[in-house]
A and B are shown apart, each in its own frame.
With several copies, the nearest count.
Chain A
Amino acid sequence: MNYLTGHYQMFIKALQRSHASLLSTLMMFLVIGITFILPSISFLIVQNLKSISENIQHESQISIFLKKDTSADAKNKIEKELKNRSEINSYHFVKKEEAWPKLQKSMGFNDSNNGLSENPLPDAFFISPNTMNPNQILDLKSFIEKLDGVDQVVVDTGWVKKLNSVLHLANKAILLASVLLASMLTVVIGNTIRLQMTSHHEEIELSKLIGATDQFIRRPFLYSGFIFGLGGGLTAAIILKLIVIFLNHTVIEVEALYGSQFSIIDLNPLEYLSIVGGSVLIAVAASFISINQSIKKF
């Protein structure tokens, strides 16, 4: 018999077996799918919260307010110093003349000539440091405070910063959870294949007795595992996509209400593919291990 034909026959057989217990197969798809969705959706939420928090944070993390009478020369000197500091990721300078209308606007006064009096703000630098280490930041602060022309240095202690570090930790937690869930999935799939073999134990025993090789016995169950993985992965990807679409829809409604741009960040195609691929990989590996353990018992 042609080797390929044999493989094809076995594949059809495995499909038929899956078909016979259609409910169980679909259930397995759902279980795998949901297990994959759990970390993916958390990942998505964290990514989106990050992007929201970045959107809000026009305010930099360190604000330097200059004295009212600081000369352009002193200002340039300060800028030069800031350029030399390696802890500083980026900075920008805001003239008081630019800052005042912005502040007014942010407080809800849409036109600048509405009776509010003279500009109370100083010139300022806004700095994004590239470190979160509080010691380094305090060093930086005291260094800047000593510069000529600097009135006050304010380190942002706002909730955005806090949210960011929580999100940072959340990302780590998600990674850990993913590993745990993957191993759980290995157990679940392995166990299902084991149960499937148990429920076909008469067939397996007989096959062995009349000369079937381990390979022959293993094949339909391996295909079965493959189908679980593929179906589960696709289920996860599809549900995830639906969730994103649903959320975006919701967001668009909210936008219509308040007029602003904001859209849910979707996973990219490669990430979707890696969900399906990972699912198949885990399922086939789990099946293989489980089959090899079970096959010895018959």
Chain B
Amino acid sequence: MIKFDQVHKRYPGNLGALQNITFEINAGELVFVTGPSGAGKSTLLKLITAIETATHGTIIFENQNLAQVKSTSIPYIRRKFGLVFQDHKLLYDRNCFENIALPLEINGVEINDIRGRVRAALDKVGLLNREKSMPISLSGGEQQRLAIARAIACRPSILLADEPTGNLDKKYADEIMNLFYSFQELGVTVIIATHEMPIVSKKHKQLYLQDGNLIRMTEQ
């Protein structure tokens, strides 16, 4: 499903954000991308979702070379992903409901279906009673959960989460992780970037990055 072949990524000020990365992720897998701060985890996720483009090498997503995809087709590829951003990217001028409704509107979901699907997503992260709150009035952990709710609202076929449990205590972190596992069980491909590997009993793949290099790839 996702295939990296000798991918390099250079930023203007950083010439080795990712170096010579080669791996493959199959549909339905659960993958952890780990490594210390600045290792390139977020960059890897950005490459998959065509937010950044590779400097060298090829990235194949669903048999398409991302470097050759027309820019008008990019939006339709992105709609297949559910994204949890490291900095959440919540809209502070809309309430929780409207934040989650946005991807549904973009996907062209019927206005009558939006209400139900927003509620279902909020319910999954335990924020149903905060529907009308503004994100600013949520605690840090609550905001993180809101961002997760937004990512799953569109029932994506691939879920990419960047540090989804950084601000969460153990109890909520476990709940969120279980949520991700349950998605995987429904056939969704799940990719999680995190600086500390959680204790996982499930079968999963791990990509360990350091200074832009893929040091280790394990499968359990």
Chain A interface residues toward B at CB < 8 A: 1, 5-6, 9, 202-203, 205-213, 216
Contact status B110-A210, CB under 8 Å: no
Query: Which label, helix, strand, loop or mixed, suits the secondary structure of the B interface?
Result: loop
Interface pairs A-B: 9 shortest CB-CB:
A211-B78, A211-B79, A212-B106, A211-B75, A1-B108, A213-B75, A210-B103, A206-B89, A1-B110
Contact status A206-B75, CB under 8 Å: no
CA gap between A1 and B107 in the complex, in Å: 10
Q: Cβ of B51 < 8 Å from any Cβ of A?
A: yes
How near does chain A come to B95, taking the closest CB pair, in angstroms? Answer: 14
A205 proximity list for chain B (CB < 8 A)? 89
CA gap between A9 and B104 in the complex, in Å: 13
CA gap between A6 and B105 in the complex, in Å: 9
A211 proximity list for chain B (CB < 8 A)? 75-79, 81, 103, 106-107
How near does chain A come to B157, taking the closest CB pair, in angstroms? Answer: 13
Q: Cβ of B69 < 8 Å from any Cβ of A?
A: no
What is the size, in residues, of chain B's interface with A at 8 Å between Cβ atoms? 24
Q: Can you list 18 A-B contacts (CB < 8 A)?
A: A1-B109, A1-B110, A9-B111, A203-B91, A203-B93, A203-B102, A205-B89, A206-B89, A207-B102, A209-B49, A209-B51, A209-B89, A210-B79, A210-B81, A211-B77, A211-B81, A212-B106, A216-B106
Residues of chain B in range 105-127 having any CB-CB distance to chain A below 8 Å: 105-111
Residues of chain B in range 80-99 having any CB-CB distance to chain A below 8 Å: 81, 83, 85, 89, 91-93
Chain B interface residues toward A at CB < 8 A: 49, 51, 72, 75-79, 81, 83, 85, 89, 91-93, 102-103, 105-111
B102 proximity list for chain A (CB < 8 A)? 203, 206-207, 210
CA gap between A203 and B98 in the complex, in Å: 12
Which chain B residue has the least Cβ–Cβ distance from A210?
B103
A6 proximity list for chain B (CB < 8 A)? 108
Contact status A207-B111, CB under 8 Å: no
CA gap between A203 and B108 in the complex, in Å: 17
Contact status B75-A202, CB under 8 Å: no
Query: Which label, helix, strand, loop or mixed, suits the secondary structure of the A interface?
Result: helix
A5-B111 contact, Cβ under 8 Å, with A210-B106, A211-B106, A212-B106: yes
Identify the interface centre among A5, A6, A211, A216: most chain B CB within 10 Å of its CB. A211
Known: A206-B91, A213-B72. 16 other contacts (CB 8 A): A1-B108, A1-B111, A202-B89, A203-B93, A203-B102, A206-B89, A207-B102, A208-B75, A209-B51, A209-B89, A210-B83, A210-B102, A210-B106, A211-B103, A211-B107, A212-B75
CA gap between A212 and B102 in the complex, in Å: 10
CA gap between A213 and B79 in the complex, in Å: 10
CA gap between A210 and B151 in the complex, in Å: 9
How near does chain A come to B71, taking the closest CB pair, in angstroms? Answer: 9
Identify B83's interface contact among A203, A207, A209, CB under 8 A: A209
A1 proximity list for chain B (CB < 8 A)? 108-111
B111 proximity list for chain A (CB < 8 A)? 1, 5, 9
CA gap between A6 and B114 in the complex, in Å: 13
